[in-house]
Amino acid sequence: MVHQPPAGARDWLPLEVAQKGWIADRLQQVFHRWGYQQIVTSTLEWLDTLMAGGAIQRSTVIQLQEAEEGTLGLRPELTASIARASVTRMAGNSYPQRLYYNANVFRRSPGYRGRQMEFYQAGVELLGTGGVLADAEILLLLADCLHQLGLQQWHVVLGEAGLTRSLLAPFPESEREQLRYCIAHLDRVTLESLPLSPQLRERALLLFDLRGHPADVLQQVASLDLDESAQQTVNNLKSLVELLEGSGLGTLPLILDLSLVQTFDYYTGIVFEVVAHTGTEARSVGQGGRYDQLLGVYHPHRKSAPGIGFVLNLEDLHTCLLSTHQLPEQTPASDWLVIPQSPQAEAAAFVYAQKLRNSQHLVRVEIDLGGRSPEQIREYARSCSITRLAWVQADGSPRIETL
């Protein structure tokens, strides 16, 4: 088995690394332009940290060892680790904190045998501020990222975790989870078979169809008997949609879906998913949402602060962008091949190669390591798209050849 990676793991070869780097570099440029700073958190965390106060299932965490102090695990996502770092290591920093990351995460899926367990992600967290403006910043930043990547066909599915919970509140607790599952998985047949009163069944079918153009969905929700908190949430959603439409920062194709349920249960406000289309296939390339109680889980005095963020999945973006021909189609070629013409010229060849590398701009320089004829050296250079050869004499003088 030593010749294969473990089940659920994979290698990234140089061209794939270059393509993924192309994506990560453009995302980083956008993050910088919006004023976000990079943070790097530990790959290893205590299991209690990774579970985010019970919001993340223990079974999804890859556990490494039992220590006297507790159990260690590999991070299944970054938000919990960044929340911990924010309220402990960065407690003296002023709010809002704008942070971004580019990292790998590890996660077990149900029936995980053979399924992918390591994922590469880039994302942001906006900590210490709530409200419609912060929500709008995150969604517009997300749209800017996708525009800069040149992703052609995509849309954002927007939900509201608190409002969805409020709309489900009138249903018996014994049926609520099943109802939520039916709505999320578009299972109308099972929903209609649930033991509900006629009034609740009518409400359940209304909730089932609460997805579509934001104005239409919000009008339907407004017709329901809402408590004051839910009505305020609806008003906030209206304000958010209006702000996004009037931002002047480009199109943000939006579908409002109040059945949207995210994988992690720490979300308290808006939740969203980015769906990209490649031919006939729809692929989720990112997700995020608001979590206004999570930071309190890690604060020494349980003092909470609002937060919101999103993550983009680099492998899924890579798959979607392959057909656009924007990604590099080959690894960068070296600019020079420096060849010592005799054993006495070897030191001089290293000196000359370093002189080339010390250019103000990035210059890729290889040294020929011997054992090939001049024609074999030229054939190697052609196969690697190296166009300039420097044949170095013992006195350090080069003879330049252009292929």
Q: What is the DSSP string of 7-43?
A: TT-----HHHHHHHHHHHHHHHHHHHHTT-EE----S
- Residue 316 reports pLDDT greater than 70: yes
Task: Answer whether 40's CB lies under 8 Å from 101's CB.
Answer: yes
Q: Is 364 or 68 the better-scoring residue by pLDDT? A: 364
- Residue 242 reports pLDDT greater than 80: yes
Residue count (the chain): 403
Measured N-to-C along each axis, helices 228-245 and 161-168 cross at an angle, to the nearest 10 degrees, of 140
**How many CA atoms lie within 13 Å of 123's alpha carbon, on the beta-carbon side?**
25
Task: Answer whether 285's CB lies under 8 Å from 276's CB.
Answer: yes
State residue 35's pLDDT score: 97
Task: Answer whether 97's CB lies under 8 Å from 129's CB.
Answer: no
Q: Assess if CATH 3.40.50.800 describes domain 336-402.
A: yes
Task: Answer whether 380's CB lies under 8 Å from 350's CB.
Answer: no
State the Cα–Cα distance between residues 306 and 334, nearest whole angstrom. Answer: 48
Residue 279: pLDDT band (50, 70, 90) is confident
The superfamily in CATH containing domain 1-130+292-332 is Bira Bifunctional Protein; Domain 2 (3.30.930.10)
State the Cα–Cα distance between residues 382 and 388, nearest whole angstrom. Answer: 10
State the Cα–Cα distance between residues 238 and 256, nearest whole angstrom. Answer: 11
Residue 114: pLDDT band (50, 70, 90) is low
State residue 110's pLDDT score: 67
- Residue 208 reports pLDDT greater than 90: no
Residue 186: pLDDT band (50, 70, 90) is confident
Side-by-side strand order, sheet with 336-340: 365-367, 336-340, 388-392, 398-402
Whole-structure pTM value? 0.89
- Residue 206 reports pLDDT greater than 90: no
State residue 93's pLDDT score: 87
Average pLDDT over residues 71-98: 91
3.40.50.150, 3.30.930.10, 2.30.38.10, 1.10.10.10: which CATH number matches 151-269? 3.30.930.10
- In this prediction, what percent of the chain has a pLDDT beyond 90? 56
Task: Answer whether 267's CB lies under 8 Å from 290's CB.
Answer: yes
Task: Answer whether 135's CB lies under 8 Å from 269's CB.
Answer: yes
**How many CA atoms lie within 13 Å of 400's alpha carbon, on the beta-carbon side?**
8
- Residue 344 reports pLDDT greater than 60: yes
- In this prediction, what percent of the chain has a pLDDT beyond 70? 95
> In the chain, which residues fall in CATH 3.40.50.800?
336-402
State the Cα–Cα distance between residues 321 and 400, nearest whole angstrom. Answer: 39
Token pair listed for 362: 């990035």
User: In the chain, what is the straight-line distance between the N-terminal and C-terminal CA atoms, in Å?
Assistant: 44
Residue 87: what residue type?
Answer: V
CA-to-CA dists, residue 15 to 18, 26, 67, 385, angstroms: 5, 17, 40, 15
> In the chain, which residues fall in CATH 3.30.930.10?
1-130+292-332, 151-269
Average pLDDT over residues 39-46: 92
Residue 182: what residue type?
Answer: C
pLDDT one-digit tens code per residue, 366-397: 999 999 999 999 999 999 999 999 999 999 99
Closest listed residue to residue 127, CA positions, set 94, 95, 161: 95
**How many CA atoms lie within 13 Å of 29's alpha carbon, on the beta-carbon side?**
12
State residue 313's pLDDT score: 96
State residue 243's pLDDT score: 93
CA 128 and chain centroid, separation = 21
Give the chain's mean pLDDT.
89
